[in-house]
Amino acid sequence: MARPAGDGSRPGRALLLLLTLVLAMGGTMALQRAYLPLFGLDLAGGTTVTLSPVTATGQAPTRESLDLAVAIIRDRVNGGGLSDAEVARSGDTIVVSVPGAGQEEVVELVGTTAELRFRQVLAMATGGSPAADQPAGTDLGGVDEAVIERFRELDCAAKDRGQDAQSDPGEQIAACSRDGATRYILDKAVVGGTEIGDAHVGVDPTTGEWLVQLELKGTGPRKWGEITTAAYNSPPPRNRIAAVLDGLVVSAPIIHEPITGGRARISGGFSQESANELANQLKYGALPLRFERSSIEEISSTLGRDQLTGGVIAGGIGLALVVLYSLLYYRGLGVVAVLSLGVAAVVTYQSVVVLGHDAGFRLSLPHIVGLIVSIGVTADSFIIYFERIRDEMREGRRPLRSAVEVAWARARRTILIADAVMFIAAAVLYYIAVGGVAGFAFAMGLTTLIDIVVVFLFTRPLVALLARTRFFAKGHRLSGLDGERMSRRTPSRAETVPEDA
């Protein structure tokens, strides 16, 4: 009899690829010194900030403005949907709960309005203290007298030096630098935060300084070209463009040439963390209201270790039942299923840890539930493959090595379709839901992808290698492929069809 067509497959390559993947993720964990997953609010606690809106008229804010503020803050603290942060409106206040973060980080992230405007510099003076005279050598022609008076009285060394101030974009203003070392008179705003299409972090290749790179949209590119052209053709200090964030000048670089193409960048002594924070604030938009922090408090876990232990025990019981069923029903093949589940557990744990430290993923009880449910889903893929092998041997009287290849060709399509349906359902649920439901959906989607990786790179090649051994090829009664187990009826001793010599 001719060798099966699939005998030329190289299962060792698939196993080597899986080993490389596991070692790469393990190496990533070692480099980051991250060996444990991050936990969510219900398991680890965090920080809660209560924000009270402040309006110019002193009246209560509209429901629409509060809802918009909730949406923007939710994007800031949970932009990828993985951090398990909670944002809710309580009457006229907004309550933000972020797991595992310090008070300072949370306050800076959620409380800042993030109102960005670009203005041309009309005058500037070093030193943050008020001065009775105007800056030497500065032409104040065209500057409103009230703004000049405000500039002279401006005390940038004070604690309250204009931060969080809501200014009219159509008026000239006097403002301090963020470090309080410089005072500015700035022209009317030309480009605003609503014209920012995207914001991301970069590094200046010359200085190595962290900066925020902006991509403008709509009329932003045209306006940016006009304001940079005007600054380029003006004498100092009017050859500078100031980036004003929440009333403070973040940076005011000299414009060396007109800038077209709709790209801008903000520098200002950022660290990587502060640059990422500003990029996220600008990316998701400015808050429609100014907020005061009415309370900041640390909160303990809402569920705690008992629930985490209960979840682990439930997962262990489910895994033990799957293992017991696999060994009793599939015997030798059941060992393959158990090993596959073990590999899936390792890859899942590595994924959770790496995602936690690289993408802010935090493990909460809904995630754990999703991971437990996935045990049955993963085992289902093995069962489909094993039953296909048995069908091929029963109906076609194929030798094992040939049955393994033919069964895989048929089972593969079923496994992919089933996992595709599961992944699509998880993706839809993730995008339309929030909170714990979204967390459950993410865990289901993640384990569905891991199921495909394990079945293709471990289960199938391992079965192909075992089919070459005498124990399985000759149909040992403990292999799970003996004639009795497959309900074959023969006049003599039931056995698997032997391989060709």
Residues 75 and 123 in one domain: no
pLDDT value of residue 391: 83
User: Is the pLDDT assigned to residue 162 strictly greater than 70?
Assistant: no
Residues 440 and 344 in one domain: yes
User: What's the whole-number mean pLDDT along residues 305-328?
Assistant: 78
Residues 34 and 50 in one domain: no
Residues 192 and 243 in one domain: yes
Residues 85 and 21 in one domain: no
Q: CB 265: neighbour CB atoms within 10 A?
A: 15
% of the chain exceeding 90 in pLDDT: 14
- Considering the domain boundaries, does residue 292 fall inside one? no
pLDDT value of residue 24: 94
Residues 88 and 160 in one domain: no
Dist CA 37 CA 372 (whole Å): 16
Cβ-proximal residues to 127 (8 Å cutoff; 6+ apart), any chain: 181, 182, 183
Is the whole model's pTM more than 0.85, yes or no?
no
Q: Which of 34-38, 164-168, 270-274, 481-485 has the highest mean pLDDT?
A: 34-38
DSSP conformation class of 427: H
- Considering the domain boundaries, does residue 492 fall inside one? no
pLDDT value of residue 8: 46
Which of 174, 164, 264 minimizes the C-alpha distance to 213? 264
Min mean pLDDT across 238-242, 301-305, 326-330, 486-490 is at: 486-490
3-state secondary structure of 90: strand
Dist CA 194 CA 284 (whole Å): 10
pLDDT value of residue 165: 60
- Considering the domain boundaries, does residue 293 fall inside one? no
What pLDDT band is residue 135 in, cutting at 50, 70 and 90?
low
Dist CA 473 CA 460 (whole Å): 16
**Per-residue pLDDT reduced to its tens digit, 347-358:** 999 999 998 888
Task: Compute the radius of gyration of the chain from its Cα atoms.
Answer: 32
- Considering the domain boundaries, does residue 6 fall inside one? no
Q: Is 133 exposed, middle or buried (0-12, 13-18, 19+ CB in 10 A)?
A: exposed
pLDDT value of residue 79: 59
**Per-residue pLDDT reduced to its tens digit, 418-463:** 899 999 998 998 888 766 677 788 888 899 999 999 999 999 999 8
Domains in the chain: how many in total? 3
End-of-domain residue from the set 239, 255, 284: 284
- Considering the domain boundaries, does residue 265 fall inside one? yes
**Which residues share a beta bridge with 242?**
119
User: Is the pLDDT assigned to residue 497 strictly greater than 50?
Assistant: no
- Considering the domain boundaries, does residue 2 fall inside one? no
Cβ-proximal residues to 68 (8 Å cutoff; 6+ apart), any chain: 288
Residues 154 and 97 in one domain: no
User: Is the pLDDT assigned to residue 133 strictly greater than 60?
Assistant: no
Dist CA 15 CA 32 (whole Å): 26
Place of tokens 């935060």: 193
Residues 364 and 346 in one domain: yes
- Considering the domain boundaries, does residue 106 fall inside one? yes
**Per-residue pLDDT reduced to its tens digit, 33-46:** 888 888 877 777 78
Residues 356 and 413 in one domain: yes
End-of-domain residue from the set 235, 254, 284: 284
Dist CA 138 CA 135 (whole Å): 6
Residues 328 and 460 in one domain: yes
State the maximum Cα–Cα separation within the chain, in Å, rounded to a whole number.
114
User: The domain containing residue 80 runs over which residues?
Assistant: 46-111
Dist CA 282 CA 168 (whole Å): 19
CATH of the domain at 80: 3.30.70.3220
- Cβ-contact 322, 344 below 8 angstroms: no
pLDDT value of residue 4: 45
Token output for 183: 């005072």
pLDDT value of residue 308: 67
pLDDT value of residue 484: 59
Residues 143 and 237 in one domain: yes
CATH of the domain at 436: 1.20.1640.10
User: Is the pLDDT assigned to residue 500 strictly greater than 70?
Assistant: no
Dist CA 428 CA 447 (whole Å): 16
Cβ-proximal residues to 473 (8 Å cutoff; 6+ apart), any chain: 399, 400, 401, 467, 496, 498, 499
User: Is the pLDDT assigned to residue 132 strictly greater than 70?
Assistant: no
- H/E/C letters for each residue in 187-202? EEEEEEHHHEEEEEEE
What pLDDT band is residue 491 in, cutting at 50, 70 and 90?
very low
- Considering the domain boundaries, does residue 231 fall inside one? yes
Instruction: Tell me what the pLDDT averaged over the chain comes to.
Output: 79
pLDDT value of residue 186: 93
User: What's the whole-number mean pLDDT along residues 275-299?
Assistant: 75
- Cβ-contact 250, 210 below 8 angstroms: no
Element (H, E) at 50: strand 46-54
Residues 30 and 50 in one domain: no
